Structure 1
Amino acid sequence: MNELKLSPCLLRKPCTLWRRLLLLGVLAALLSGGLAWSQRETLGLAARGYVFGYPLVLADLTRHDFVSDIAPANRLLHMPAFPDADYRVFVRPNVDTLYTQAWLDLDAGPWVFEVPASQRYLLMQFLDAWSNVFASLGSRTLGSQGGSFLLVGPHWDGQVPAGLTLLRSPTRLAWLLGRIQTNGKADYPSVHAIQASVRLRSLQDWQQGSASPALPFAMPQSSRPSPLYQMRALSAQDFFARLATLLQDNPAAPADSAAVAELRQLGVHAGAAPQWNWLQRQAVRLGIWLAGREMQRALQDPQGLVNGWREAPLHIGDYGTDYGLRAVVAMVGFGANLAADAIYPNANLDGQGQPLQGGRRYRLHFAAGELPPARAFWSVTAYDGDGYLIANPQGRYALGDRDPLRYNADGSLDLWLQHETPAAEQQGNWLPIPASGPFSLTGRIYLPERRLLDGQWHMPAIERL
């Protein structure tokens, strides 16, 4: 029996910034004299418990909306086209790849997942209910070869049929988020053919040769609020009660034993909702508020910027006990992949530390020999202040190495960021931005080279003209 255990990323750097920021406010409250010791202890336990359980509860809210409004559990869903400026399902969508998704209930399995052989970049990542990537199938791990895999839950104990490689999720719930390189709209037919060869079906159907067709994506008709909004609207009691229920089938990792012990101190046990008195409920509410505030502060802290760009730590997607980072990433980029598969630097400041503002003119200059070091491809996408694509007559939302860019004589490259149409010789390198209001840029570097992973290369500063 072959059990595939993919090392998420060999390079890891400690990320203490998130934990320091998170604990700062908690310690301040704990050391204040305004609360009795038992209440201060409850406040600290609640703040840390909220951060610890945040991705699990958010995953369940996201799963519920997906299977209610978009596609049932255990069925593949293929995106047939890029999003446009009217797309509001989630923020910061890419226009580099077409997505494949499925939410899995592994207690209803096991399931057989098949990936076709392909010469182009593709990534089929599986995340557990805590948002950790437990398998990354694609160009980096499989090369141009495909594969057939048996997906099982944490308690499955059976015989793996010949021809299948075992993938075991540590939790009952899991999420497949796949991406296939798409070189513009004219490339859709080729990508659709690859999507048609990505298959998910029950083991019984696989053994009988029965198909389980994927579903096409359709915009959801429901007007329910986003999972993040639902998360913020949960009461303290509802959050921890939901967490307690989810812990039954989606256990924490062995390394999380200290965090689980603190949840028990708070009265949160797997399968048992907490019972608090009035004073305890107020302390828990305050702890949640404090944790949320520190998570927001971590996002806004400028200390982690390089040339105005925020670069995610290299252990993103494989968080270990870095619960602060895991929670913050879930809040702003739920479903993040491993750094070894793709890296996404973000910028909302120019090189002088000033916010990027629509109506102004900017230049992003890559020196000769300093283009984004990608073994697959790279792009830069512009988003409005809410994280959505920016409407423009050209329908151009991103630029990258697959576009017919015009390079300077010395091999350097200039991308022009402005709302008004630039001079004719610059239009091929023009990325439209809003006429007013804030905007941001996201770089996407697929299969980053070692010098990027080693921190030897960074995105250049955005120059205001």
Structure 2
Amino acid sequence: MQGILEGTRAAGAVDNESAPVLVARPHHVGFTLNSDTPYLGAGLNLRKSGPLVVELPAGPLVGLVDDHYHQWLVDLGLPGRNAPDGGRVLLLPPGYEERVPADEDGFEVVRCDTWQVLCALRALPLGGDLAAANALLTSVRVYPLDRRDDPPAFSFLDCDEQPMDTTPLGWEDNLQFWRVLHGVIDTEPPVEELRPMLGLLAELEIEAGRPFTPDARMKQILTEAARQGRDEMLVAAFASRRPDRVVWPDRTWEWVGLRPENGAFERTGSLDVEARDRWFAQAIIASPAMFRRQRGAGSLYWLGLRDGKGTCLTGGRTYRLRAPLPVPQTLFWSVTVYDAATRSEVVTEQGRAALRSLFDDLATDDTDHVDLYFGPEEAAEAQGRWIQTVPGRGWFTYFRIYGPEQAAFDGSWQPGDFEALP
């Protein structure tokens, strides 16, 4: 979350005042961002503003608010309380006890555990109309509650062509990880759920109100700990042996989210730490709506990282992926390729990383399937349905279905495995 906030500010956005809007492409470094829908990501600082209103127009928006510890607070837009009708969400700062507008005043009131939160939104470009989707996103309003009668302007930065990095890649595996963590803990109130972990961190001098000055020995220990912790999260993400990760027993496709019950990775009696590590090692933000496995529920993600023989996908080989038609969706579907090291869209001379049914020709007139190709060079039979990969680098893909139908869940429709070609 801190990586997202810092990257957003580096792009020119100001908390509470402006937000980037973009359709993600390879020059936008972000964990498994997609090129299917335009994004809006607004850093909100409740210490600065006091109670803050997020006002959404009616329309096909999908989003949420998460706190500084990536804990889910509220869904917005289609998965939210008012679904497609828009509405106003009132975010209250930690410990706020003054009177607030009642529900009948038209506000959905949400109490936050941290001063810093993130409002993340996507607009569904129905019919491929990106202009309409962008117009919908840029009609969102954010303003302090005490300015609701005369709201200040909230502006939007067109970052389609501007490189951005909203990841912790620069410090997730080294000593700087602990410095960043200390900075977060030093600026946020303690969260009850995290008290045991905060106690352990305090033994390392990572504590609110206390300087973080590790000696040479401790720096070495913490540097190795950050690297090992990052590597263990990548194992959870890409080399798990959990049987519940498998979507279909005769395919290598996996579920990205392993806890469809909720957005907090809770299971009966405990917290599913591996499921949480798996998600946040390769993705961002969380809510119950993102993980539901039911017909018509938002979007569905499958992870593909091996071919049909179980070998990890590599950028030096050419692969074919066969998808039966029609794909069971009510909106659209896509396949996006990510670099295994950056967990971001692959960067190649081709300049794109996704094949999208809204914008690319993924239908065929005379067959019951479509073949998609992936490799360093375009196969002769690809007909443009190809994503370039980089020799010497591993990669994985997300198969996304927006508005999934029942066949996506009951096994009556399945994509093929990646087939390595000679």
Is TM more than 0.5 here? Answer: yes
SS in 2 for 1:160: coil
2:15 is aligned, of 73, 81, 105, to: 73
Report the Cα offset of residue 128 of structure 1: 0.8
Could you tell me how far apart the structure 2 residues matched to 1:222 and 1:368 are?
36
When structure 1 is superposed on structure 2, of 440-449 and 405-414 the one drifting more is 405-414
2:402 is aligned, of 446, 449, 462, to: 446
Q: Which runs of 5+ in 1 are unaligned?
A: 1-58
Could you tell me how far apart the structure 2 residues matched to 1:293 and 1:173 are?
28
Report the Cα offset of residue 398 of structure 1: 1.5
Q: Aligned pair in 2 of structure 1 residues 155, 211: CA closer, same or farther (>3 Å)?
A: same
Could you tell me how far apart the structure 1 residues matched to 2:285 and 2:9 are?
17
Q: Which has the higher helix share?
A: 1
2:380 maps to amino acid: P
Deviations 1:241-297 (A, max 9, x none): 435414x43x32x44444344445556544334687877666555544543342233
Partner of 2:417: 461
1:420 and 2:378 are equivalent in the alignment = yes
Q: TM-score, normalised by structure 1?
A: 0.71
Partner of 1:272: 210
Report the Cα offset of residue 239 of structure 1: 5.4
1:314 is aligned, of 235, 259, 265, to: 259
Q: How does 1:135-214 map to 2 (within 5 A)?
A: 135-141=74-80, 142-157=82-97, 158-160=99-101, 162-182=105-125, 187-208=129-150, 210-214=151-155
Report the Cα offset of residue 456 of structure 1: 8.7
Report the Cα offset of residue 194 of structure 1: 1.0
Q: Aligned pair in 2 of structure 1 residues 201, 180: CA closer, same or farther (>3 Å)?
A: same
Q: Which has the larger radius of gyration?
A: 1
Question: Percent of aligned positions with the same letter in both sequences?
Answer: 23
Report the Cα offset of residue 67 of structure 1: 2.4
Deviations 1:182-238 (A, max 9, x none): 258x62321232123211112233222x34132223489999996331343435863
Deviations 1:72-101 (A, max 9, x none): 111242425x3444x144354311100111
Partner of 1:5: none
SS in 2 for 1:229: coil
Could you tell me how far apart the structure 1 residues matched to 2:21 and 2:8 are?
14
SS in 1 for 2:89: strand
Could you tell me how far apart the structure 1 residues matched to 2:76 and 2:25 are?
28
Q: Aligned pair in 2 of structure 1 residues 381, 62: CA closer, same or farther (>3 Å)?
A: closer
Could you tell me how far apart the structure 2 residues matched to 1:279 and 1:356 are?
39
Q: How does 1:19-418 map to 2 (within 5 A)?
A: 59-80=1-22, 82-85=23-26, 87-107=27-47, 108-118=49-59, 120=60, 122-141=61-80, 142-157=82-97, 158-160=99-101, 162-182=105-125, 187-208=129-150, 210-218=151-159, 227-234=168-175, 238=179, 241-242=182-183, 244-246=185-187, 248-249=188-189, 251-252=190-191, 254-264=192-202, 268-273=206-211, 287-304=225-242, 306=246, 307-312=251-256, 313-314=258-259, 317-320=263-266, 321-336=271-286, 338-340=290-292, 341-358=298-315, 360-367=317-324, 371=327, 373-384=328-339, 386=342, 387-389=344-346, 391=348, 397-400=354-357, 403-407=360-364, 411-418=368-375
Report the Cα offset of residue 177 of structure 1: 1.2
Report the Cα offset of residue 406 of structure 1: 2.9
